[in-house]
Amino acid sequence: MNFLTISNKYLVAFIVFISYTLFAMAWVGGTASMGQIMSSMHVDSLASASFISGAVTLAKIVGTFVAAWLALKIGIKYAFFLSGVLISIGLLTPLAPNYELLLISRFLMGLGGAFMIVYFNPIVMAWFEPEERPTINGINAVAFNVGTGIILWQMANFNALTGSWQNTLLVFSLASMVLSLAWLLVKNKDGGTKEKTNHQSSHPLVQEQHYSYLDGLKDKFNWIYALTYSGILAFYICLFTFYPQAGISQSALVIGAGIVGTIAGIIYSKRVAARIPVIRWSGLIVTLTVVGLSFSSSQIMQTLSAMALGFFIFFPVTALVTIPHELPKMTGQKITVIFSLFYSISYLVGTIVLWSFGKLVDINQGDYRVAFALICIVSSTSFIGSFFLPETAKPQPRIPDKEPI
């Protein structure tokens, strides 16, 4: 029944964006309500709370790593649907009768979010022309920030509207389920990712060389690409985990400035084809502003550093996530594996850095200076990595000088 098939690419992009925004809202909303959730279960152990964080981290690492395998087995369409269903399991968070079910619901929800972020890129590649991809990639990159910002600034209003934090989280999860069902109506364009027999499909992306996880792990680009991003991700995780405890409370400014930075990055990347310069110099500014935020004793300097940080962390993201799309002979299968490894390696590094940060604070009896020095060094991976990433912009042809008359 063709009239029930969604084939408008902008509607497809809208579903993808809102799906991940809702994940962020449900995820951050659950985190913001965690004190009330734990209290309702009569759980006051910090160790128990840490298990939830650990489950989340494990879901991100494992989920992003196996996402490509899942897509190769069942295709992007149904893999994305499964990610939405897993996110919807977040409805158990406010309903969980015990701590164990809460832990499982948060893990499965995090797993769904980890799957979904990997599937952005093969979906964009299948539905959009090369000149359109930077814009869509940039819009997708800001989805989590939009969801987080909505919760930070409007959670109390949502709770007042629905009657309770439990009802608010239920609404988010049910909305995710509705979008997942809507996704089933999207036209199937799995030609570039799902494993096929030789006689299947004439989709142009099918005629591609097989690119496995082992191929991806052997590919030097994937390691450089992931490690370039890993320092920024590690800082971002530490920012929201430890900086408020250190008395630095400007994290909300980073989110707001990040949305502005992403929009600016989309506009910039549409007009400027070169990808490396914006990654390199934004990376340098990020490291300098991390130093300002971490070590300055001036509230004004910390505020300005936080705003600059948010802007320049996200300003180059459109260029960064577009690079694989512009590499020669890119295929749907290959790009799925690339982003699966990209996020998995980045989250693994971020987890190690997060643990190391906390350990350094403990070793130094609550003094954050050595831990801050570590995160300043780690945040420089974007600047350093830019010297090793390939520039995908095609060189402009040189206009020959006019011969003298």
* Confidence (pLDDT) at 208: 54
Q: State yes or no: pLDDT of 185 exceeds 90.
A: yes
Q: Which residues pair with 186 in a beta bridge?
A: 6
- Categorize the per-residue pLDDT at 242 as very low, low, confident or very high, splitting at 50, 70 and 90: confident
Asked whether residue 202 carries a pLDDT value surpassing 50, the answer given is no
Predicted confidence band of residue 203 (pLDDT cuts 50, 70, 90): very low
Q: Residues 6 or more apart from 227 whose CB is under 8 A from it? A: 345, 346, 349, 381, 385
The pLDDT confidence band at residue 397, using thresholds 50, 70 and 90, is low
Given a contact cutoff of 8 angstroms between Cβ atoms, the answer to whether 115 and 86 are in contact is yes
Using a pLDDT cut of 90, give the percent of the chain over it.
56
Residue 215 has pLDDT above 70, yes or no: yes
Mean pLDDT of 313-338: 92
- Listed in sequence order, the residues at least 6 apart from 220 whose beta carbon sits closer than 8 Å to its beta carbon are none
What CATH number labels 8-189? Answer: 1.20.1250.20
Instruction: State how far the alpha carbon of 316 is from the alpha carbons of 51, 62, 114, 280, 332, in Å.
Output: 34, 26, 22, 9, 23
Distance CA 201, CA 265 (A): 37
> Which pLDDT score, from 0 to 100, does residue 354 have?
87
Can you give the residue ranges of every domain in the chain? 8-189, 212-389
Start-end of H helices in 128-219: 133-141, 143-162, 165-183, 213-218
CATH of 212-389, one of 1.20.1250.20, 3.40.50.300, 3.20.20.10, 3.40.1010.10: 1.20.1250.20
- Which amino acid would we find at residue 133? R
pLDDT grade, residue 335 (50/70/90)? very high
Instruction: Determine the pLDDT at residue 36.
Output: 74
Digit-coded pLDDT (tens) for 47-67:
565 566 667 778 888 899 999
Nearest to 30 by CA among 115, 116, 105, 111: 105
Q: Is the dihedral of CA 236, 242, 243, 244 positive or negative?
A: positive
Q: Which of 89-98, 265-274, 328-337, 339-348 shows the lowest mean pLDDT across its residues?
A: 89-98
SS3 label, residue 136? helix
Please check whether the two domains, 8-189 and 212-389, share a CATH topology. yes
Instruction: Please say if the pLDDT value at position 121 is more than 60.
Output: yes
What percentage of the chain carries pLDDT values higher than 70? Answer: 87
Instruction: Judge whether 344 and 65 are in contact, CB under 8 Å.
Output: yes
* Interacting residues of 251 by C-beta distance below 8 A, sequence separation 6+: 239, 240, 243, 244, 306
- CA end-to-end span of the chain, whole Å? 69
Mean of pLDDT values over 218-237:
94
- Check if the beta carbon of residue 162 is closer than 8 Å to that of residue 168: yes
- When pLDDT is cut at 50, 70 and 90, the band that residue 390 belongs to is very high
Which tokens belong to 37?
Answer: 């959730």
User: For residues 312 and 289, what is the distance between their CA atoms, to the nearest angstrom?
Assistant: 9
Can you tell me the distance from the alpha carbon of 375 to that of 373, in angstroms, rounded to the nearest whole number?
A: 6
pLDDT of residue 240: 79
What would the pLDDT profile of 127-178 be if each residue is shown by its tens digit? 999 889 999 999 998 898 899 889 888 888 999 999 988 899 999 999 999 9
Q: How much is the mean pLDDT over the chain?
A: 86
Question: Which among 69, 78, 98, 85 is positioned nearest to 212, based on CA atoms?
Answer: 69
Instruction: Name 116's Cβ contacts closer than 8 Å, sequence gap at least 6.
Output: 19, 20, 23, 80, 83, 84, 87
Cβ distance 381 to 229 under 8 Å? yes
Check residue 405 and give its pLDDT.
47
Q: Which residues contact 232 (CB under 8 A, 6 or more apart)?
A: 283, 286, 313, 379, 381, 382
Where does residue 213 rank: exposed (0-12), middle (13-18), buried (19+ CB within 10 A)? middle
254-309 pLDDT, tens digit each: 888 998 999 999 999 989 999 999 999 999 999 999 999 999 989 999 999 999 99
- List helix spans (H) across 192-331: 213-218, 220-241, 251-271, 276-295, 299-314, 317-322
How far apart CA 319 and CA 11 sit, in angstroms, is: 23
Q: What is the mean pLDDT of residues 98-118?
A: 88
pLDDT in tens, 8-47: 999 999 999 999 999 999 888 887 776 677 777 766 655 5
378 — pLDDT class (breaks 50, 70, 90): very high
